[in-house]
Structure 1
Amino acid sequence: MVMTERLNLASLPAAHAPAVDPRELTIGIVHLGLGAFHRAHQAVFTEQAALLTGGTGWGICGISQRSATVRDQLAPQDGLYSVLTRGAGDPTIQVIGSIRDVLTAPEDPAAVVARIADPDVAVVTLTVTEKGYRAASGGGLDLTDPEIQADLTGRPPRTVVGQLAAGLARRAEIGAGPLTVVSCDNLVANGPFLRRLVEDYAAAGSTAGLAEQLEAARFPASMVDRIVPATTEADRDEAARLLGVRDEAVVVAEPFLQWVIEDDFAGARPAWDKAGAVLTADVAPWEQAKLRMLNATHSMLAYLGGLRGYETIAEAVRDDELAGYATELMTADVVPTLTPPDGLDLAAYGASVLERFANPALKHRTAQVAMDGSVKLPVRLLGTVRDRLAANAEPRLASLAVAAWMVYVSRGVDAKGNELHLDDPQAGKLRAALDGAGSQPPAVVDALLGVRSVFGDDLPDNKVFRALLTDHVASLTK
Structure 2
Amino acid sequence: MASFKLNNQNLSQIAAKVLVPQYNRSILKTGIVHVGIGGFHRSHQAYYTDQLLHDETTKDWGICGVALLDFDAKIYNTLKEQDGLYTLIVKELDGSLTKSVIGSIVEYLFAPEDPKKVIEKMASPEVKIISLTITEGGYNYDEATGAFNFGNTLIQQDLDNPQAPKTIFGYLTQALKLRKERSLKGCTIQSCDNIQGNGHVAKKMLLSYVRVAEPGLVAWIEANVSFPNAMVDRITPATSALDIEILKESSDIDDAWPVVCEPFKQWVIEDDFIEGRPAWETVGAQFVEDVVPYEKMKLRLLNAGHSVLGILGALYGFSTIDEAASNADISSFLRIYMGNEVTPTLGGLEGVNLKNYKFSLIQRFGNTYIKDQIDRICSQSSAKIPIFILPVVYEQLEKKGSIDYAAFVIAAFAIYSVGVNEFGTQLIIKDAMEIVLNEKAILSRKNPEAFLEIESIFGKLKSNETFVEAYIKAYQNIVQNGIEKSVKDINSNVLNEI
Superposition TM-score tier, normalisation by shorter sequence = over 0.9
**1:429 & 1:415 partners in 2: Cα distance?**
21
Task: Describe how 1:378-389 pairs up with structure 2 within 5 A.
Answer: 378-389=386-397
Contact between 1:168 and 1:210, CA under 8 Å: does it hold in 2?
no
Quick check: 1:203 aligned with 2:204?
Answer: no
Structure 2 equivalent of residue 465 of structure 1:
467
- Which of 115, 118, 126 aligns to 1:120? It is 126
**1:17 & 1:52 partners in 2: Cα distance?**
14
Listed one character per residue, the Cα deviations across residues 306-334 of structure 1 (whole Å, up to 9, x for unaligned) are 11111100000111000000000100000
TM-score by length of 2: 0.92
- Deviation >4 Å, runs of 4+: none
Quick check: 1:32 aligned with 2:38?
Answer: no
Tell me the CA shift for residue 175 of structure 1: 2.1
Structure 1 equivalent of residue 489 of structure 2:
none
Q: Which amino acid aligns with 2:394?
A: R
Tell me the CA shift for residue 28 of structure 1: 0.7
Tell me the CA shift for residue 160 of structure 1: 1.1
Quick check: 1:452 aligned with 2:455?
Answer: yes
Contact between 1:182 and 1:219, CA under 8 Å: does it hold in 2?
yes
Tell me the CA shift for residue 210 of structure 1: 4.9
Tell me the CA shift for residue 304 of structure 1: 0.2
Contact between 1:317 and 1:323, CA under 8 Å: does it hold in 2?
yes
Tell me the CA shift for residue 475 of structure 1: 2.1
Contact between 1:220 and 1:261, CA under 8 Å: does it hold in 2?
yes
**2:222 & 2:64 partners in 1: Cα distance?**
22
Contact between 1:169 and 1:208, CA under 8 Å: does it hold in 2?
no
Contact between 2:415 and 2:441, CA under 8 Å: does it hold in 1?
no
Contact between 1:381 and 1:402, CA under 8 Å: does it hold in 2?
no
- Which of 289, 296, 306 aligns to 1:298? It is 306
Structure 2 equivalent of residue 84 of structure 1:
89
Uncovered stretches (5+) of structure 2, i.e. residues with no partner: 481-498
**2:10 & 2:46 partners in 1: Cα distance?**
22
Tell me the CA shift for residue 103 of structure 1: 1.2
Task: Describe how 1:11-90 pairs up with structure 2 within 5 A.
Answer: 11-12=10-11, 13-15=14-16, 16-52=19-55, 54-66=57-69, 67-89=72-94, 90=96
Contact between 1:216 and 1:266, CA under 8 Å: does it hold in 2?
yes
Give SS of 2:467's match.
Answer: helix
Tell me the CA shift for residue 118 of structure 1: 0.6
Listed one character per residue, the Cα deviations across residues 98-138 of structure 1 (whole Å, up to 9, x for unaligned) are 00111122222222111110110000111110111111231
- Which of 355, 366, 380 aligns to 1:372? It is 380
Give SS of 1:52's match.
Answer: coil
**1:378 & 1:243 partners in 2: Cα distance?**
43
Q: Which amino acid aligns with 1:83?
A: L
- Which of 144, 167, 174 aligns to 1:159? It is 167
**2:110 & 2:468 partners in 1: Cα distance?**
44
Tell me the CA shift for residue 18 of structure 1: 1.3
**1:173 & 1:397 partners in 2: Cα distance?**
53
Give SS of 2:253's match.
Answer: coil
Q: Which amino acid aligns with 1:27?
A: T
RMSD across aligned C-alpha pairs, in angstroms? 1.5
Give SS of 2:236's match.
Answer: coil
Contact between 2:211 and 2:218, CA under 8 Å: does it hold in 1?
no
Structure 2 equivalent of residue 212 of structure 1:
220
Structure 2 equivalent of residue 140 of structure 1:
147
Q: Which amino acid aligns with 1:377?
A: I
Q: Which amino acid aligns with 1:107?
A: E
Quick check: 1:326 aligned with 2:334?
Answer: yes
Task: Describe how 1:225-240 pairs up with structure 2 within 5 A.
Answer: 225-240=233-248
**2:235 & 2:426 partners in 1: Cα distance?**
25
Tell me the CA shift for residue 366 of structure 1: 0.9
Structure 2 equivalent of residue 110 of structure 1:
116
Listed one character per residue, the Cα deviations across residues 174-200 of structure 1 (whole Å, up to 9, x for unaligned) are 222111011011111010111011110
**1:196 & 1:124 partners in 2: Cα distance?**
16
Contact between 2:49 and 2:280, CA under 8 Å: does it hold in 1?
yes
Quick one: structure 1 residues 53 and 189, their matched pair in 2 at CA, closer, same or farther if it must change by over 3 Å? farther
Contact between 1:50 and 1:271, CA under 8 Å: does it hold in 2?
no
**1:277 & 1:195 partners in 2: Cα distance?**
23
**1:42 & 1:206 partners in 2: Cα distance?**
31
Listed one character per residue, the Cα deviations across residues 193-242 of structure 1 (whole Å, up to 9, x for unaligned) are 11011110111123554531342100000000000000011101122234
- Which of 166, 187, 190 aligns to 1:179? It is 187
More divergent stretch after superposition (70-79 vs 272-281): 70-79
Structure 1 equivalent of residue 484 of structure 2:
none
Q: Which amino acid aligns with 1:171?
A: R
- Which of 95, 102, 105 aligns to 1:99? It is 105
Tell me the CA shift for residue 56 of structure 1: 1.2
Give SS of 1:180's match.
Answer: strand
Contact between 1:82 and 1:94, CA under 8 Å: does it hold in 2?
yes
TM-score by length of 1: 0.95
Q: Which amino acid aligns with 2:339?
A: T
**2:420 & 2:116 partners in 1: Cα distance?**
43
Q: Which amino acid aligns with 1:69?
A: K
Identity score, percent: 35
Contact between 2:321 and 2:366, CA under 8 Å: does it hold in 1?
yes
Tell me the CA shift for residue 47 of structure 1: 1.1
Task: Describe how 1:292-371 pairs up with structure 2 within 5 A.
Answer: 292-371=300-379
**1:208 & 1:201 partners in 2: Cα distance?**
12
Give SS of 1:420's match.
Answer: coil
Q: Which amino acid aligns with 2:451?
A: L
- Which of 431, 438, 447 aligns to 2:438? It is 431
**2:219 & 2:115 partners in 1: Cα distance?**
22
Q: Which amino acid aligns with 1:98?
A: S
**1:184 & 1:422 partners in 2: Cα distance?**
25
**2:217 & 2:181 partners in 1: Cα distance?**
7
Structure 2 equivalent of residue 6 of structure 1:
5
**2:337 & 2:349 partners in 1: Cα distance?**
20
Contact between 2:301 and 2:342, CA under 8 Å: does it hold in 1?
yes
Uncovered stretches (5+) of structure 1, i.e. residues with no partner: none
Quick check: 1:414 aligned with 2:421?
Answer: yes
